[in-house]
């Protein structure tokens, strides 16, 4: 019942119309693993610099996350500085300092190679593929990606998209990847590359999911107070993958219905992420909070 | 079982990335009445100029629409010219010629004053209020509005919003009206003005509906080919009001469930509007086409 999560562990300085934080804990692996930890014990593979405080690692450990494969190396931790306007769907980058992440190229231990469930956060697709090939007979592998890889590593991205089961991707990014504005056509393009399931993240508008010839759509959980969207997409993917890992490990068979439920669990989990800066809120909820929002989403859409 | 629809009857010249039309039939009353006519026989109150061909009136008549209260007066019909980029949620106006619509100020006949169901299209809120006061004991009155009234007739708009049951409004417009970016807070503002039900239209992202302390949300029907979004909002409102008029006239009681179903009927009906320019598609479907999409939306969201 382990979910392997590979991705960035970072410091983020973020400004939104509702406040700001400086050098707060962030990164795709952090958000995804906290979200997944409500369902399973995730194992994080990542790298931090010497300036990443020991207490942060302990915080993750306390949250049912296996941190033993987080390398601490000479140098500084990945740093992102950005801001959002009122339209929280669009992040504006001020500064990215890759730091120790530049040398990140994980070699998995024999133990990790036997893990069956893998989430490849939005790192360089060459690294994603490199990790993928190290896994022995995976059951479910998902990946995420971002603009810069679509622009600069298209060939490598296509290679990993050929083999993964699920792609999590933003609406604007899938349009860029497929060079197609219509989301249905863009998803078809990705499925033709080989990806079985395409989950398009639409921020405050929820998600739309393509599986075979089926389409599944959900609105986001409606919130009156949104402070910071950073990490929402990773929390969503972490929730989806956490629930799928839990269910499949417990003997449930993969089905369209299970996928739909997983997407709602992801939606419910991610809704907490945006209600405060950094991991402040999503770190401090309980499984029953997620269940409550899952049921509220059911009431929200039922007719 | 009559639904009174007041609004513009127009010629539209439209360009989108997928084609263009010149002086095609359009206007809020036209789209809303065609959509509603799949459920009830709507009565349109509007005005056209001498250049509005008799065959257009006949087209509406053939579609189960009562056109006997459409005035034909000296002058030219309302004309709108606009275009859309790939983001079809945003209309860019090139030209608006109000023409005969400038003198539109309907006085209802005794017969019309007794109609119980009314949709006030996005005309000047002073006219909306003037029509509203002429109705004897209405059961359900809905209105729509647009940017220019929010900017220039705020006081008058608040007056009609105090008395209507339902407001249909775009996401960007409710933000402007409430001077509040968050949609939940913006809807609260409108409900405080007096409007019982607020239906926020989100284009390709569907609709979110506020009724008492309940929220209902639906994605749009996913489409691979969208040609022209003009009239989608009016078709949506027409479908919602058509279904509510049908149900309430047949003795059903108003309930949250009925409202939710009506919003899905509106969503299904509007989805046809955008699949071709002008009224080309929405005019040529059947009731069973709407039912099919209603059921498909159920499958789309069920988990």
Assign A1 a pLDDT band (cuts: 50, 70, 90): confident
Q: Give me the mean pLDDT over the A206-214 stretch.
A: 97
Assign B283 a pLDDT band (cuts: 50, 70, 90): very high
Percentage of residues of chain B with pLDDT beyond 90: 97
pLDDT score of A197 more than 90: yes
Which residues in B lie closer than 8 A to residue A219 (C-beta atoms)?
A: 205-206, 208, 217-219
- Closest residue in chain B to residue A203, using alpha carbons only: B205
Please give the angle made by the CA atoms of A213, A218 and A219, to the nearest 5 degrees.
150
Q: Give me the mean pLDDT over the A263-267 stretch.
A: 98
Three-state secondary-structure class, residue B228: coil
> What is the structure's pLDDT at B219?
96
Distance in angstroms (rounded) separating the CA atoms of residues A3 and A15 = 32
What the block records as the tokens of B21 is: 């039309």
pLDDT score of A67 more than 90: yes
Report the candidate in B293, B283, B286 with the shortest Cα–Cα distance to residue B65.
B283
pLDDT score of A174 more than 90: yes
- B79 and B106 Cβ atoms separated by less than 8 Å: no
Give the CB-side neighbour count of residue A78, counting CA atoms within 13 A. Answer: 20
Whole-number average pLDDT of chain A: 96
Percentage of residues of chain A with pLDDT beyond 70: 100
Chain A residues near any Cβ of chain B (below 8 Å): 17, 86, 181-185, 202, 205-206, 208, 215-219, 222-226, 257, 260-261, 263-264, 298, 300-303
Which residues in B lie closer than 8 A to residue A298 (C-beta atoms)?
A: 303
Assign A169 a pLDDT band (cuts: 50, 70, 90): very high
Which of B181, B216, B223 has its CB closest to that of A86?
B181
Whether residue B222 and residue A224 make contact (CB cut-off 8 A), yes or no, is no
> What is the structure's pLDDT at A95?
94
Distance in angstroms (rounded) separating the CA atoms of residues B1 and B261 = 18
Which of A181, A219, A263 has its CB closest to that of B206?
A219
Which of A217, A222, A225 has its CB closest to that of B301?
A217
pLDDT score of A70 more than 80: yes
- Closest residue in chain B to residue A218, using alpha carbons only: B301
Model confidence pLDDT, tens digit, residues B225-270? 999 999 999 999 999 999 999 999 999 999 999 999 999 999 999 9
Chain B residues near any Cβ of chain A (below 8 Å): 17, 86, 181-185, 202, 205-206, 208, 215-219, 222-226, 257, 260-261, 263-264, 298, 300-303
Whether residue A185 and residue B300 make contact (CB cut-off 8 A), yes or no, is no
Question: Scanning the structure block, which residue is given the tokens 């009445």?
Answer: B33
pLDDT score of A77 more than 80: yes
- B68 and B41 Cβ atoms separated by less than 8 Å: no
Assign B105 a pLDDT band (cuts: 50, 70, 90): very high
Those residues whose C-beta lies under 8 Å from the C-beta of residue A46, and which sit 6 or more positions away, are A6, A7, A8, A9, A27, A29, A69, A70, A71, A104
Whether residue A182 and residue B226 make contact (CB cut-off 8 A), yes or no, is yes
pLDDT score of A89 more than 90: no
pLDDT score of B73 more than 90: yes
Distance in angstroms (rounded) separating the CA atoms of residues A108 and A116 = 13
pLDDT score of B124 more than 80: yes
- Closest residue in chain B to residue A222, using alpha carbons only: B184
- Closest residue in chain A to residue B186, using alpha carbons only: A224
- B18 and B277 Cβ atoms separated by less than 8 Å: no
Distance in angstroms (rounded) separating the CA atoms of residues A38 and A219 = 22
Q: Give me the mean pLDDT over the A212-241 stretch.
A: 97
> What is the structure's pLDDT at B87?
87
Q: Give me the mean pLDDT over the A202-218 stretch.
A: 96
Report the candidate in A289, A229, A298, A231 with the shortest Cα–Cα distance to residue A263.
A298
Whether residue A185 and residue B224 make contact (CB cut-off 8 A), yes or no, is yes
pLDDT score of A256 more than 90: yes
Q: How far is CA A225 from the centre of its chain?
A: 22
Distance in angstroms (rounded) separating the CA atoms of residues B179 and B200 = 15
Which residues in B lie closer than 8 A to residue A86 (C-beta atoms)?
A: 181
- Closest residue in chain B to residue A221, using alpha carbons only: B217
Q: Give me the mean pLDDT over the A7-36 stretch.
A: 97
Dihedral pair phi/psi, residue B9, rounded to 5°: -120, 125
Q: What is the CA radius of gyration of chain B?
A: 18
Which of A183, A218, A222 has its CB closest to that of B184?
A222
Q: Cα distance from A208 to chain B (closest Cα, Å)?
A: 9
pLDDT score of B1 more than 80: no
In a mutational test of the B interface, the residue from A18, A175, A182, A301 whose CB has the highest number of chain B CBs within 10 Å is A301
Which of A183, A224, A261 has its CB closest to that of B303?
A261
Q: Give me the mean pLDDT over the A117-141 stretch.
A: 97
Report the candidate in B14, B67, B6 with the shortest Cα–Cα distance to residue B273.
B14
**What beta strand segments (E) does A121-265 contain?**
140-144, 166-170, 197-201, 207-211, 214-218
Which residues in B lie closer than 8 A to residue A205 (C-beta atoms)?
A: 202, 205-206, 219
Sheet with B78-84, strands from edge to edge, namely B19-26, B10-16, B78-84, B91-97
> What is the structure's pLDDT at A125?
97
Q: Give me the mean pLDDT over the B23-42 stretch.
A: 98
Which of B215, B222, B261 has its CB closest to that of A303?
B261
Assign A219 a pLDDT band (cuts: 50, 70, 90): very high
In a mutational test of the A interface, the residue from B219, B227, B274, B294 whose CB has the highest number of chain A CBs within 10 Å is B219
Whether residue B184 and residue A302 make contact (CB cut-off 8 A), yes or no, is no
pTM of the model: 0.96
Domains and CATH numbers, chain A: 2-301 (3.40.1190.20)
- Closest residue in chain B to residue A224, using alpha carbons only: B184
> What is the structure's pLDDT at A141?
98
> What is the structure's pLDDT at B89?
84
pLDDT score of B154 more than 80: yes
Helices (H) and strands (E) in chain B, counts: 11, 13
> What is the structure's pLDDT at B178?
98
Q: Give me the mean pLDDT over the B156-165 stretch.
A: 98
Q: Give me the mean pLDDT over the A200-211 stretch.
A: 97
Which residues in B lie closer than 8 A to residue A217 (C-beta atoms)?
A: 219, 222, 300-301
């Amino acid at each position: 019942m382990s979910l392997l999560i590979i991705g960035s562990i970072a410091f983020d300085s973020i400004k939104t119309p509702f406040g700001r934080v400086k050098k707060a804990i962030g990164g795709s692996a952090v958000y995804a693993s906290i979200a997944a930890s409500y369902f399973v014990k995730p194992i994080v593979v990542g790298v931090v610099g010497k300036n990443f405080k020991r207490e942060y690692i302990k915080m993750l450990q306390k949250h049912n996350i296996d941190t033993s494969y987080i390398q601490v190396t000479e140098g500084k931790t990945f740093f992102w500085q950005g801001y959002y306007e009122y339209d929280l769907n669009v992040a504006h980058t001020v500064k990215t300092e890759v730091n120790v992440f530049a040398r990140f190229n994980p070699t998995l231990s024999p133990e990790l190679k036997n893990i069956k469930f893998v989430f490849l956060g939005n790192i360089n697709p060459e690294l994603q593929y490199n990790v993928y090939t190290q896994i022995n007979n995976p059951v479910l592998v998902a990946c995420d990606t971002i603009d810069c890889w679509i622009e600069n590593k298209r060939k490598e991205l296509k290679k990993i998209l050929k083999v993964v089961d699920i792609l999590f991707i933003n609406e604007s990014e899938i349009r860029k990847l497929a060079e197609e504005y219509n989301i249905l056509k863009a998803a078809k393009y990705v499925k033709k590359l080989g990806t079985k399931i395409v989950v398009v993240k639409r921020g405050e508008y929820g998600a739309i999911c393509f599986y075979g010839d089926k389409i599944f759509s959900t609105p986001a959980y409606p919130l009156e107070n949104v402070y910071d969207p950073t990490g929402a997409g990773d929390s969503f993917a972490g929730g989806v993958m956490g629930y799928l890992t839990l269910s499949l490990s417990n003997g449930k068979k993969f089905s369209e219905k299970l996928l739909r439920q997983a997407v709602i669990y992801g939606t419910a989990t991610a809704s907490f992420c945006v209600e405060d800066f950094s991991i402040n809120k999503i770190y401090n909820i309980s499984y029953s909070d997620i269940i409550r929002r899952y049921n509220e989403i059911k009431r929200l859409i039922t007719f």
